[in-house]
A and B are shown apart, each in its own frame.
Chain A
Amino acid sequence: MPAFEYAPAPESRSIVDIRSSYGLFINGSFVDSQDGGSRKSINPATEEVLAEVAEAGPADIDAAVRAARAAFEGVWGRMSGANRAKYLYRLARIIQERSRELAVLESIDNGKPIRESRDVDIPLVAAHFFYYAGWADKLAYAGLGRGPQPSGTTPRPIGVAGQIIPWNFPMLMLAWKIAPALATGNTVVLKPAETTPLTALAFAEICQQAELPPGVVNIVTGGGETGRMLVEHPGVDKVAFTGSTEVGRAIARAVAGTRKRLTLELGGKAANIVFDDAPIDQAVEGIVNGIFFNQGHVCCAGSRLLVQESIADELLASLKRRMATLRVGDPLDKNTDIGAINSAAQLEKIRELSAAGEQEGAQRWSPPCELPARGFWFAPTIFTGVSQAHRIAREEIFGPVLSVLTFRTPAEAVEKANNTPYGLSAGIWTEKGSRILAIADKLRAGVVWANTFNRFDPTSPFGGYKESGYGREGGRHGLEAYLA
C-alpha cells in the first residue's frame, strides 16, 4: 500500500452527449447511408458500445465527392481568402469553447488519458485551425505554387481532397488534414478511422454551428473499403493519408498513372539516442514521453532507445525507477498516465510482437501493474539486450513497448539510427550543442527532437523520409501539398 494513494479523480462524462446512432455528414447535413452498412464504435477501456456509426458505401462516397466538387466550384474555391479565414477562425473558436467536451469524447472513444486529450490533443486542434486561418489570405507570401508568382497573384487550390486519418490522434489528425486544405481553398471528404469516429462527427456539428457552406467539409465514416473507394474515386484531385506503411504503399499504387496528388504520413521506428553527457533526469522523462505517451500509439514514437554503453546500466536503473510511477488505468481519471489500447486487434499485435521479442532472446521487463479486467490493456514494457536484427528493433509495434540497444561512438549511433526503412523522427540527448547539430544533420528523419521529444506545434512541419512517407504537415511547408 503506497503511503500517498491518489484517490479516484474522474472527469465527468456528463458533458458529452453521444447519440445512439450517427449518419454520414454530406453536403452540410447528417444523412443515412444509401448503400453501405453500419458498425458499432466501442469504448476500449470498458468494451461498452458507444454508438452505431454508418459505413459509407459506393453511392455515399460518390455523393460526398460530388458535394465537395460543387462546393469547390461554386463557393469555396472562388471565395476570398479573407472570408475563408473567417470561417476557419469560427471553427477554431468553437473548438476552444467546446474543448472540455471534445477532450472527454476523445478519451472515451480512443482510450487515451483525459490529461493528454485535455492538455495536448484538443489545444493543438484549435491552434492548427487558428494557424491556418491566418494563412488563407496570405498565400501569396508563402513562396509556393508552380513557377514564380507575378506580383499580386495567389497560388490556386487543387480541388477536392480525399483524406484518410488514423485512430491514434483522431481529432488532431483531422485538424492536420482539414485546416490547411480549407485555408488554401480546397474542399474535403474525410474518412476517420473506423474505431474512432466520434470527434470527427462532433466536428461535423461544429461545421454546422460555424455555418460553413455545405459540401466544404464532408465526413464519411467507414472501414478500409470505404477508404479504398475514396482514394480510387475519379472526382478526388488530391489524396492525403496517415496510417500504416502497408496501406500507404497500396494507395501509392492505386493513384499511379492518375493526376491525383498524394501525401503520406506513415509508420516509424524512431531512435532516441542518449549520449553519456545527457541531462539524465530529463533524458529519462524524454524516453518515457517518447514511448509511453498515448500508449505508444504514435507514429513518431521513440520506440528504440539507443543508449551509450558507458551509461547504459545507470540510465536503465533510472528508467525502471521512473516507470514504476506510471499510472495505467481509467482514461477518464485525471491522474492516469497510460490509457487503454485502442482495439482488440491492436492489443493482439502488441502481444504477438512482445512474445517474438522474448523468443528472440531479449530480456523483458515491466513495472508491477494492476490492469483492469475489462477493456484492452498493456503494461509499459522495455526489452533490453535487443539487437538490430530482432523483429522488435525493426517492426513498428505501435504500443507501450521500448526496445533498448547500445552504442559506443556517435558514428555508430547514427548508423544504427538510420538502419531502418523508416525515417519519421529521432531524438538526441546530450548537453553538447555542436553534437546535437552534427548528429541532426546526419539523421535521415523528418523530425529531430534534441533534449525533448514528442513536441508538436502548428507552425512546425512534420513528416518523414523513406518509408515513413512524403509531404509535410504544419508550418508554411504544410501549404505546399494543397496548392496547385
Chain B
Amino acid sequence: MTVTARSTTATERVGGADLADLTRSDSALRTFLHGLPGVDQVGAEARAAMLATRSIKTTAKQWAIDLAIRMVDLTTLEGADTPGKVRALCAKARQPDPTDPTCPPVAAVCVYPSMVPVAVEELRGSGIHVASVATAFPSGQAPLDVKLADTRAAVAAGADEVDMVINRGAFLAGRYLQVLEEIVAVKEACGTAHLKVILETGELATYDNVRRASWLAMLAGADFIKTSTGKVSPAATLPVTLVMLEAVRDYRAATGRQVGVKPAGGIRASKDAIRYLVVVNETAGEDWLDPDWFRFGASTLLNDLLMQRMRMITGRYAGPDYVTLD
C-alpha cells in the first residue's frame, strides 16, 4: 500500500477554497461543513435498500467473497485479550482456511496497543498489516496528550495502521476546529503509519452529521474514514456507509486525493458483506474495490465468508465444525 504524504500547505483546495482558509476558524469550518448538501434520510435509506436487492450469484459471488476476505481487518478488542488469543488470531489471519491454500489471507489484524508487539511478531513477513486502535479507544474521553502518547506507543511498537476515534462530544457541541486539530495532531504522531478516523456514526445520529464528520476527517488528513468502534449500537449500516462513500467520492473529485472507507461492527454474514461491496461498486466506483481503499472491521464475519466459500466450491452447506476458532 502506498502512503499518500499529506500536505498541510495551502496548495490543497476544496471546491475553489484554500484549505488553510477553511480551517482558519471554527466559523469558517462550520460555514463550509454546513454548506455541504444535506442528506435526505428516507431517500438515502431507500437507495441503500434498493442496492441491497442486487442478486450476486455464481462467479460474481465467488469473486466477491474472496475480495471480502482480503478486506477483513480481523479484530479483537476485549479487556480479556492475551498474547495467546492474539497469536491465534494472527495464525487465522495468515491462513483463514487451513484445508485450502487458495483461500487468501486477510488485510490486517486490529488489536489494542498493548497487544501490538505480539501481532507484529506473529505477522512478520506475511504482508498482513498490524492495525492498532489508539486515542483512548473507544470513548476518546482522555486528555489530548494521553491520546497522542497512546498513538505514539502503538506506532513505536510496530503498528503500521492506527484507528483513532474523533472527539464526539466536541463535534456535537459544534467545536469543529477542535475535532480537526486533534485529528491533525494524531496524524502527525502516526508518522508513516496510516490513519483511520472512526466517526462513531451511531453517536452522530444524523446522516447530515455523518457527511460533515466525513469531510472534517478528510480535511484533517485521514487516510481512511471508519464508521464505528463496534462498542456502540448501531454500528455500521448500509445507508451510513453509502453516505460516507459519497463523501470520499466527492472529496476525491474536489481535491484529487483518495480516502478509504471502513464499515465496522455488526457485519456478520457474507450476504451483508457482499451488499457493502455492491454499494461501493455503484457509489464510489471500482477504484475503491480494493483492500487498500475498503476494509471490513469484523471478527465473526470471516467464518461466515469461509463457510460460503466452501459452499461455492463443494456445493454443500458447511457448518461451524469446518471453520477454525480464532
Contacts and interface: CB of A to CB of B under 8 A. Distances in A.
Q: Do chains A and B touch in the complex (CB under 8 A)?
A: yes
B239 to A, nearest CB: 11
A410 interface: no
B40 A282 contact: yes
B24 interface: no
Interface string A271-303: 000000111111001100000000000000000
Interface in B263-294: 277-278, 281-282, 286, 289
Interface string B185-225: 00000000000000000000000000000000000000000
B11 interface: no
Interface string A110-142: 000001000100000000000000000000000
Interface string B36-61: 01111011101100000111111111
B246 interface: yes
Contacts of B59: 5, 7
Interface residues of B, number: 27
Given A282-B39, A285-B47, A6 B53 contact: no
Contact of A285 (B46, B54, B56, B286): B46
Given A5-B60, A7-B58, A279-B38, A115 B53 contact: yes
B261 interface: no
Task: Choose among B57, B58, B277 the residue with the greatest number of A CB atoms under 10 Å from its CB.
Answer: B57
B43 A451 contact: yes
Chain A interface mostly:
loop
A3 B63 CA distance: 10
A9 B43 CA distance: 26
A325 interface: yes
Interface string A442-474: 000000000110000000000000000000000
Interface residues of A, number: 24
Contacts of A8: 57-58
A444 B282 CA distance: 36
A391 interface: no
A186 interface: no
Nearest to B278: A4
Contacts of A66: none
Contact of A279 (B40, B64, B277, B286): B40
Nearest to A276: B37
A452 B61 CA distance: 32
Contacts of A7: 56-61
A309 interface: no
Given A431-B38, A451-B43, A281 B60 contact: no
A404 B303 CA distance: 50
Given A4-B64, A6-B60, A325-B282, A281 B37 contact: yes
A70 to B, nearest CB: 46
Contacts of A452: 42-43
A3 B59 CA distance: 12
A277 B53 CA distance: 30
A278 B43 CA distance: 12
Given A3-B289, A285-B47, A279 B39 contact: yes
Contact of B43 (A6, A115, A286, A334): A286
A263 interface: no
A279 B37 contact: yes
A4 B286 contact: yes
25 contacts: A3-B281, A3-B286, A4-B278, A5-B59, A5-B60, A5-B63, A6-B54, A6-B60, A7-B60, A7-B61, A8-B58, A9-B56, A119-B53, A277-B38, A279-B39, A279-B40, A281-B37, A281-B43, A282-B39, A282-B44, A285-B43, A334-B54, A335-B54, A335-B55, A452-B42
Given A4-B278, A5-B59, A281-B44, 15 more contacts: A3-B286, A3-B289, A4-B64, A4-B281, A5-B60, A6-B56, A6-B60, A7-B56, A9-B56, A277-B37, A279-B40, A281-B37, A281-B39, A282-B40, A325-B282
Interface of A: 2-9, 115, 119, 277-282, 285-286, 325, 334-335, 431, 451-452
